[in-house]
């Protein structure tokens, strides 16, 4: 984790702990929970996340288990929109789709 933060993102923050949330078998696709020494370190990392563009690494901010489930449920729709060239964006666990000039929340059934 420290190598990613210092080399890829070019930040000088202290990572107190990093814990994988999936089993080692699912490690390549898994989430990692990271704890920083200071709140400002977290903000620094989130500002620098644009440097991860073009990689397979993404970042979410403090999602609860329910929020993670909602985001995972909308993930297939997100990929479908993107493959069709439709602009999308995430706001916490909610998926928004560009309709005209404004982003509108995409409702996922069952959650």
Beta bridge partners of 96: 89, 105
Query: How confident is the model over 19-68, as pLDDT tens digits?
Result: 777 766 655 666 777 787 888 888 888 888 777 777 777 777 767 778 88
Q: For residues 104 and 93, what is the distance between their CA atoms, to the nearest angstrom? A: 14
Decide if 30 contacts 20 (C-beta within 8 A): yes
Q: What is the pTM of this model?
A: 0.51
Mean pLDDT computed over 74-92: 90
Q: Which residue has the higher pLDDT, 104 or 67?
A: 104
Q: What average pLDDT does the chain have?
A: 79
In this prediction, what percent of the chain has a pLDDT beyond 90?
Answer: 22
Q: Which residue has the higher pLDDT, 58 or 74?
A: 74
Residue with tokens 């990572």: 15
pLDDT of 32 reads 76
């Amino acid at each position: 984790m420290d190598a990613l933060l210092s080399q890829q993102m070019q930040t000088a923050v202290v990572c107190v702990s990093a814990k994988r949330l999936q089993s080692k078998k699912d490690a390549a696709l898994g989430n990692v929970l990271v704890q920083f020494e200071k709140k400002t370190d977290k903000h620094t990392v989130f500002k620098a996340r644009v440097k991860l563009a073009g990689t397979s690494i993404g970042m979410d901010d403090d999602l609860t288990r329910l929020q993670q489930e909602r985001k995972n449920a909308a993930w297939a729709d997100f990929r479908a929109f993107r493959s069709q060239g439709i602009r999308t964006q995430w706001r916490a666990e909610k998926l928004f789709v560009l309709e005209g000039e404004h982003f509108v929340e995409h409702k996922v059934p069952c959650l």
